[in-house]
Amino acid sequence: MLNRFIRYIQRYKGWFGGGGAICIFLGLYMGLLASPPDYYQGELVRIMYVHVPLAHTSTLAYSVLFFGSIWYLWKRDPLVDNMCQASAGICALFTALALITGSIWAKPTWNTWWTWDPRLVSFSVLLLILGGYLMLRKLVDDRERGGRYAAILAIVGGIDLPIIKFSVEWWRTLHQPMSFSTRGVAISDDILVPLTLMSLGAWLLFAYMVMVRTQILYLTDLLNAKKGRLLSQTHFSQTSP
């Protein structure tokens, strides 16, 4: 079922890329030029329009990896394995960018680039888990075995997602509390519109990137398989009497 869905949605990847680019352009315009500065933070609030969508998208990407890994262990579908591998690489990129932009925001507001804050630490742990996942994929020669080990790591690492989400409530932290919760939305409309546009754009771009990366992995497998077949045919014709 998931295999069929991936193949079906792949036809529309251009729409995801185009939609993501349009949302990001509009979000950048509103975030940089049209939205007002914050009363306390001034112009620095504009960093939120890149930092928050990157952070949201990285947790979304890890959720895709988490559920994809469960599916893979259950069905052993190589296409889902490709999608998980694609999600992991892109999730690592989004996580690293969220940490970097967060650090840039922290310097003028907290007067430090880094602090051992629960949200920052749990988010960095996510990057370490992703690094481990990608290394496993690279280092284990047997692809099927590597995929299985990596899927187990991704599922175990999923424990970090609720820790990231609730770290600002469970511990004393410098990081601001959740803006979107069951208690409502704690952001004014002037800021909410560009933030929503940028978030939507980042999600669409993530979907597009996963589709392209999955296609790359598929095409690489296809090329290797065909090259292998050709090589074995050549070898066979040369060695046969």
Q: Nearest approach, Cβ of 108 to another protein (angstroms)?
A: 5
Both tokens assigned to 101: 């932009």
Q: Nearest approach, Cβ of 165 to another protein (angstroms)?
A: 22
Q: Nearest approach, Cβ of 25 to another protein (angstroms)?
A: 6
Binding region for another protein (CB under 8 A): 7-8, 10-11, 14, 17, 21, 25, 28-29, 32-33, 37, 41-44, 46-47, 50-51, 54, 79, 90, 93, 97, 100-101, 104-105, 107-108, 205, 208-209, 212-216, 218-220, 222-223, 226-227, 230
Both tokens assigned to 182: 């069951």
Which CB sits closer to another protein, 44 or 187?
Answer: 44
Which CB sits closer to another protein, 136 or 205?
Answer: 205
CA distance 207 to 5: 13
CA distance 185 to 104: 25
Which CB sits closer to another protein, 25 or 170?
Answer: 25
Which CB sits closer to another protein, 122 or 214?
Answer: 214
Residue type at position 71:
W
Both tokens assigned to 212: 């392209």
CA distance 69 to 59: 15
Which CB sits closer to another protein, 185 or 230?
Answer: 230
Find, among 28, 89, 18, 81, the residue nearest to 53 by Cα. 28
Q: Nearest approach, Cβ of 48 to another protein (angstroms)?
A: 9
For residue 26, the tally of other CB atoms under 10 A from its CB is 17
Which CB sits closer to another protein, 159 or 230?
Answer: 230
3-state secondary structure of 184: strand
β-bridge partners, 185: 180
Q: Nearest approach, Cβ of 32 to another protein (angstroms)?
A: 5
Task: Note whether 114 and 106 are within 8 A (CB).
Answer: yes
Q: Nearest approach, Cβ of 207 to another protein (angstroms)?
A: 12
